Amino acid sequence: MSYEVRYSDSAKGRGLFSKTKLLCDTTILEEDPLVSCQFQWNAAYQYLACDHCLRPLETAQENATRLTGKMVELPHPECCCTDKSRFSSCPSCGLQYCSTECREEAYNQYHRILCTQTTDKNSSHPLEQLNEAWKQLHYPPETSTIFLVVRLLARILQAPNREAAIAQTLQFCHHTVNEDADLAHKLLGEKFAGQLSLLHNLLVAAVPHEGIEQFLTFEGFQSLLALIGTNGQGLGTSAISQWVKNTGTLPISQEERENLDSFVDNLYIQMDSNVGEFLNNEGVALYALQSACNHSCSPNAEPRFEHNNHRLSLVATRDIEEGEEIFISYLDECILGRSRHSRRKELVSNYLFECHCSKCEAEADEPDVTSEEDDDAEESMEDSS
Ligand SMILES: [Zn+2]
Ligand SMILES: [Zn+2]
Ligand SMILES: [Zn+2]
């Protein structure tokens, strides 16, 4: 193995370290999540994905047609990866999976307990009530889902070794009660923080209690929300982007390539004008190894989803020396590009730590500019240009 998890002095906790020299673009590791889940609104708006691994259930052509809002005829249909002959659905509740393997894995890991065993959406089912309540509190763009908590709990209940499953879950929880409360409020947003007990009551009504009582108290519930807020990794899959990627390797002439490129450019313009940023099947997942990876504002690795499902690839984004710590960024591109002060403010409020990464240390003498002032600075630059 090219990596190990051990104590990190800089993070005062676990960290992921390279055990060999790794070249840029090397896949350091690949892992399936403990649990993953599509976002509620994403699913409600017919972004069809496997209920277990989020692999697209539309063909690239269907995907392009839905996202542009008009009939699209895609050339090179052989570049589409969606294989409908492999699809499988839960015989009791009808949930759709990309394969028998996914259906069985879901059933054996968490779905046996969560299967609502009804083909028509029964709105009085506690899980359906929880779904509706969450959707009302969490409009797009979505960043998390309470169903990751639900699956995590069901996974513990179904685990052959419950003690081990609980210990594995607790590994992710390392905040105090007050910190958990802050993070849970943050996850819901200030406006909805008062709805925490509503969600808690619905969750308690939706899952069996025996063996997971510690997670079903109000404090236990807050710590699970804090867990998914600080460890949840966003993920996206797309039939159309997979198709585009595959067309890149077609043995075609220069002229055909240029035609194809302009077709794709035009397709993305049409999709953008119809659905904006909402192109992908989107969800969130919890990974054992990736979550051991600490943050840096100047990361040397990034998570990617190269299999077009929830399997995560951690890829080196520059050469990494033997023994060096592997860092990813917890901030999105946009915030990562901002001032030291803005980055650190974001990390403190969402992850409760003061960043001492190499970039933040190197910029320690910079004045503390807030993100609002960053925005103003950008605006005045645009005005003057
Ligand atoms: Zn699947
Ligand atoms: Zn089912
Ligand atoms: Zn930093």
Q: What is the pLDDT of residues 337-361, one digit of tens each?
A: 999 999 999 999 888 889 999 999 9
Residue 375: predicted pLDDT: 53
118 alpha carbon – ligand 2 mean position (Å): 8
CA of 346 relative to ligand 2 center, distance in Å: 39
Nearest to 372 by CA among 333, 329, 338, 331: 338
Distance 46 CA to ligand 2 centre (A): 19
56 and 242 Cβ atoms separated by less than 8 Å: yes
CA of 331 to the centre of ligand 2 (A): 36
Taking the centre of ligand 3 as the mean of its atom positions, its distance from the CA of residue 349, in whole angstroms, is 14
Q: Compute the distance between CA of residue 308 and CA of residue 80 in angstroms, rounded to an integer.
A: 12
Residues within 5 A (CB) of ion ligand 3 = 297, 355, 357, 360
Cα of 270 vs centre of ligand 1, distance in Å, is 28
Q: What is the pLDDT of residue 1?
A: 83
Backbone φ, ψ for residue 248 (5° rounding) = -60, -20
- What is the rounded CA–CA span in Å between residue 205 and residue 197? 12
Residue 201 CA to ligand 1 center (angstroms) comes to 31
pLDDT computed for residue 118 by the predictor: 55
Q: Where are the beta strands (DSSP E) in 196-280?
A: 233-237
Please state, in angstroms and rounded to a whole number, the distance separating the CA atoms of residues 223 and 264: 44
Residue 125's pLDDT is 84
Phi/psi of residue 180, each to 5°? -60, -40
- Nearest ligand, CA 111: 2
Rounded distance from Cα 265 to ligand 2 centre (Å): 40
Ligand closest to CA 97: 1
Q: Quick one: pLDDT at residue 50?
A: 98
Q: How far is the CA of 295 from the centre of ligand 3 (A)?
A: 8
Task: Please identify every stretch of the chain with a pLDDT value under 50, giving residue numbers as ranges.
Answer: 119, 376-385
For the chain, the straight-line distance linking the first and the last C-alpha, in angstroms and rounded, comes to 51
Q: What is the DSSP string of 57-123?
A: -S-HHHHHHHHHTS----S-GGG----GGG-EE-TTT--EESSHHHHHHHIIIIIHHH----SS--T
User: Ligand nearest 237 Cα, by number?
Assistant: 1
Ligand 2 center to 112 CA (angstroms): 7
Which ligand is closest in space to the CA of residue 338? Answer: 3
HSE of 94, CA atoms in CB hemisphere, 13 A: 5
Instruction: Compute the distance from residue 107 Cα to the ligand 2 centre, in Å.
Output: 8
Backbone angles phi, psi at 49, to 5 degrees: -140, 155
Ligand nearest to the CA of 11: 3
Residue appearing with tokens 């889902």: 145
Please give the pLDDT value at position 373. 52
Cis peptide before 141 (omega within 30 of 0): yes
The closest ligand to the CA of 56 turns out to be 1
Query: How far does residue 354's CA lie from ligand 2's centre (Å)?
Result: 44
Q: Specify the DSSP class assigned to residue 11.
A: T
Q: From CA 95, how far away is CA 89, in angstroms rounded?
A: 5
pLDDT of residue 171: 86
The dihedral sign for the CA sequence 274, 277, 282, 283: negative
Specify burial of residue 151 (Cβ count, 10 A radius: 0-12, 13-18, 19+).
buried
Among residues 180, 194, 196, 293, the alpha carbon closest in space to that of 229 is found at 180
